[in-house]
Chains A and B, each alone.
Chain A
């Protein structure tokens, strides 16, 4: 039994009262985006309603209040990741933006022809394409860590790939399609042994796993606010201070400069060097409330309850004949991907939607992974702390209905 009061938690999320196609909404698409609690919605309304102002350069009351709320979020995130300094926290538009920033600045400056970049078969397209673009431009070589049939990375193969040619490793912490939790500590340590830098794509991990960038010794860690009950269009890139300092700026514009003349511009210090233009102030301010909300519930409590849901769902779904769970890694977050014999995932999604159940179907932006698994796609149910076992029962009944209707 969970120490959390799930019914009380559910009341914090107004969207859970919505009806979909006349039924109570069952929201199992949390790996795509999580829903937002009142505290986050109120933070957004409060910011716009009471202290909206452009930050950092204003001298008036509102500007100072907005700036202080904005920088409070940075400190909250610093603690959330256990980063050594708040200057190591760069605000981005999301995980994808953070990965692109690293590829386009660190990558373009420090990588050269023949250098090797290692990613894995589990990557989301956003941790593949930025590196492919860099490889195309610089003549680097992209190498891919294979997986076994259960969806675990084959780390012996990774170790064999590492050499003095390896200059960068960019690997997902948790697979969005299968839920696999990767041993990123091991991956980072091994990469450092050959002098390579490491970026961890934490999009799926940030709401489920306690992240300590110093213990991990990650060089970069990227995640998105909207996957941890925060607003969309806001993300974080953590980078080690000395590496960020050595990197050239990404976008040019206001805020990121120290002094501009038509002859030469000198750049601002960290973290502002990477935050050109008016940032996404409201969403940055609101993310603090999402993280406070998580901290109040306790990440360990959330993880324990989600594990309970995962186990229950895995057991219940396994009993459905013709259903095959895709991804049975040793360590998983609360994601269940599955296929049904003779039924296309899209049909599963459409018929469940008619019953008010939201899941995701398709390739989950991981086409190379789907090719490796020999599947056009899967149906994926992903759970958050506000989901319940009776909802999983509805999913099971819903899948039986899909089978009855289609087969």
Chain B
């Protein structure tokens, strides 16, 4: 699936909820289901700066494609992070750099993107793109 196809799928899932409670329960559930990040990757280098809760992001490349694994102390952030990981994982650095992440706005979570200082979703997106740039540079 392309990045946009995954985004559209998430948007469709969120259309099922007509109130904030359902939406947040779903995000919390995503957070709970996100596989635990191995302790070795929960290191200082993988911490995303600018978040109120600690968020770890680990990236690696497999068959020309980038993969992300992440974790957070806070469950809602973890749910949000889980969606980002789902959208961005298993794509080439070029695809990631070209991507337009419209799903966050479409599912009504744009405020989480704006509140960079409190939950760092924007920092997380930036860091994912930074990894894409780094891996691209390494290949050239």
Interface residues of A (CB under 8 A from B): 21, 343-347, 349-351, 354, 361-362, 376-377, 405-406
Contact = CB atoms under 8 A, between A and B. Distances in A.
Contacts of A354: 20-21, 24
15 contacts: A344-B74, A344-B75, A346-B53, A346-B76, A346-B118, A346-B119, A347-B74, A347-B75, A347-B76, A349-B118, A351-B24, A351-B76, A376-B53, A405-B28, A406-B75
Interface in B15-38: 20-21, 24-25, 28
A361 B53 CA distance: 10
B76 A350 contact: yes
A351 B27 CA distance: 12
Contacts of A362: 52, 118
B73 interface: yes
Nearest to A348: B74
Given A344-B74, A350-B76, A377 B52 contact: yes
B77 interface: yes
Contacts of A346: 52-53, 74, 76-77, 118-119
- 3 nearest A-B pairs in the assembled complex, by CB-CB distance: A344-B74, A346-B74, A346-B53
A359 to B, nearest CB: 13
Contacts of B76: 346-347, 350-351
Contacts, number: 39
Given A343-B75, A346-B118, A376-B73, 9 more contacts: A21-B20, A344-B73, A346-B53, A346-B77, A346-B119, A350-B119, A351-B76, A354-B20, A362-B118
Interface of B: 20-21, 24-25, 28, 52-54, 73-77, 118-119
Contacts of B53: 344, 346, 376
A405 B28 CA distance: 8
A350 B20 CA distance: 11
Please classify the interface of chain B as helix (H, G, I), strand (E, B), loop, or mixed, using the class held by over half of its residues. Answer: helix
Nearest to B79: A347
A342 to B, nearest CB: 9
Contacts of B21: 354, 405
B28 A406 contact: yes
A231 B53 CA distance: 31
Given A346-B74, A376-B73, A361 B24 contact: no
A344 B28 CA distance: 12
Contact of A361 (B28, B52, B77): B52
Interface centre among B20, B24, B53, B74 (most CB of A within 10 A): B74
B95 to A, nearest CB: 31
Contacts of B54: 376
Interface centre among A343, A350, A376 (most CB of B within 10 A): A350
B20 to A, nearest CB: 5
Nearest to B53: A346
B49 to A, nearest CB: 15
Contacts of A347: 74-76
A325 B35 CA distance: 32
A138 B118 CA distance: 36
Contacts of A351: 24, 76
Nearest to A342: B75
A302 B136 CA distance: 62
A361 B20 CA distance: 20
Nearest to B117: A362
Contacts of B73: 344, 376
A377 B76 CA distance: 16
A401 to B, nearest CB: 8
A405 B25 contact: yes
A346 B52 CA distance: 7
A158 to B, nearest CB: 32
Contacts of B20: 21, 354
A350 B52 CA distance: 12
B52 to A, nearest CB: 5
Contact of A405 (B24, B74, B118): B24
Contacts of B77: 346
Contacts of A406: 28, 75
Contacts of B119: 346, 350
B18 to A, nearest CB: 13
Contacts of A350: 24, 76, 119
Nearest to A363: B52
Contacts of B52: 345-346, 361-362, 377
A350 B53 CA distance: 12
B73 to A, nearest CB: 5
B80 to A, nearest CB: 10
Contacts of A343: 75
A343 B76 CA distance: 10
A377 B118 CA distance: 13
Contacts of A377: 52
A343 B74 CA distance: 7
